[in-house]
Structure 1
Amino acid sequence: MKGRRYDIHTSNACEVSNAILKNAREYPIATLVEHTRWNVSASFTKRREASNGWKGPLTSYAVKTIQFSSEKGRRMNVTAFDSLLFQVSSKFHQDRVDLREKTCTCHAFQTLEIPCAHAMSDIGFRKADALEFTEEWYRSETLRETYREVIDTTLDRLQWQ
C-alpha cells in the first residue's frame, strides 16, 4: 500500500526519533535501546487502554473529525447528479464529491480517508452513515487489534549472557 501521512504534523521519521531520544542521547547504546523499547511499550499500553474505553465503532479522532465536518457541511447546499456523485456549494466556491471513489476536489476526503465537510453535507442530507465512507483503520476494533500485542520486558543488563 502506498504510504500516507493522515494528518501527521512532522516531515520525517527522524523528527519522531529525535523527540523520543532527546533526553537519552548521551546514554550508552544498550541503555538507549532499552529507553526506546520502554517508550514504545508505554505508548502501546496507553493507546491500548484508551481504546478499550471506546464504545462506538470509530476512534475518538475519527468521531471528532466527522462531527466537525458534519457541522461545517450543514451550511452547504447539495446538488446530486446520482446517488453517489454530487456538487456542494458554499458561500465562496463549489466542490465535487464522489462517494463511490471517496474523493472531493478539496482533497481532504482522499487525504485523510474520512469524509470531509463537503462529503458530510451529502451524507447528512441522505441520512446515510459516515462509517460507510470512513476507512477501516479509523475503526475502534482495528486500533485495538493494532495495539493488542504487549511488548515484553527485557532482562536487567547484569542478567545478559
Structure 2
Amino acid sequence: MSIVEYFNSVTKEARKLLITTLIEYIRCLIQQLFYERQNIWLVSTSTHSKYAKEIISLECEKARRYRVNPINCYRFHVKDGGLDGIVSLNTLECSCRQFQCLEILCSHAIAAAREQNINSFTLCSRFYSVKSFVLAYAESISPLGHVIEWKKPPEYANVKIL
C-alpha cells in the first residue's frame, strides 16, 4: 500500500467533516504516527533499519561465492561468475551501480569490504541508521489550541468567510 492509499483510507470518513476539524484530525493522526515511530526506534537494539539488514543479508549470501582480486588498496575486481564488478571502497562505487543507487552495499562491495576486514554496515548511507530514524521522528507536532486563541493578522480579523 502506498502512502497515498494509506492516507486516503485513514481519512475517508474524516473528509466529510468541516475543514478545521479535518485538519485537526490529520494533525492528531500525524502526531500519533510520529510518537509511535519514535518510540519504536528509541528502543531498537539494532544500529540499522530492518530494510538495510535484509538487503545486506541477501547480498552477503551472494558474496560468499565471489573471488576478490585487489587492484590497489581501495579498488577491487570482484569475480562473480557473470558480469563481475569493479568496486571502489573509498568512493563507495561499484560498476553494477547498485551500491550508488541504494547507498547500501551490493554483493561485490560486500566481498571487497570482507577482503579488507571492513564491517559492511559502516559503508551504508547514514540514512539507514537507527539514529537517523530517531532524528526523523524527533520533532513534536503540537496542537494548535482553540480557534479563539489563534493569533490573526489585523487585515484578516474581520473577514467573513461564507
TM range (shorter): 0.7 to 0.9
Query: 1:54, 1:60 within 8 Å by CA — same for their partners in 2?
Result: no
TM-score (norm 1): 0.77
1:19 counterpart residue number? 6
State yes or no: 1:45 paired with 2:32. Answer: no
1:99 pairs, out of 89, 95, 104, with 89
The CA deviation string for residues 14-51 of structure 1, in whole angstroms up to 9 with x for no partner, is xx345313424444322332232223222212221111
The residue number in structure 1 matching 2:100 is 110
Cα RMSD (Å): 2.2
Match of 2:45 among 35, 51, 55: 55
Larger Rg: 2
Deviations 1:114-135 (A, max 9, x none): 1111101111232211233112
Which shows bigger deviation, 24-33 or 134-143? Answer: 24-33
Q: For residue 152 of structure 2, what is the aligned residue in structure 1? A: none
More deviation, 110-119/132-141: 132-141
Q: Which residue of 1 aligns with 2:78?
A: 88
- Matched with 1:66 is 56
C-alpha deviations, 1:75-119, integer Å up to 9, x for none? 222121012211222232212111111111222111111111110
- Supply the distance in 1 between the matched residues of 2:61 and 2:20 (Cα, whole angstroms): 51
Mark the CA change 1:88 to 1:21 in structure 2 (over 3 Å): closer, same or farther: same
Query: Is 1:148 the counterpart of 2:138 in the alignment?
Result: yes
> Could you tell me how far apart the structure 2 residues matched to 1:17 and 1:34 are?
19
Q: How many residues align?
A: 145
Alignment-derived partner of residue 6 in structure 1: none
Q: Secondary structure at the match of 2:58?
A: helix
Unpaired runs of at least 5, structure 2: 149-162
Unmatched 5+ stretches in structure 1: 1-8, 11-15
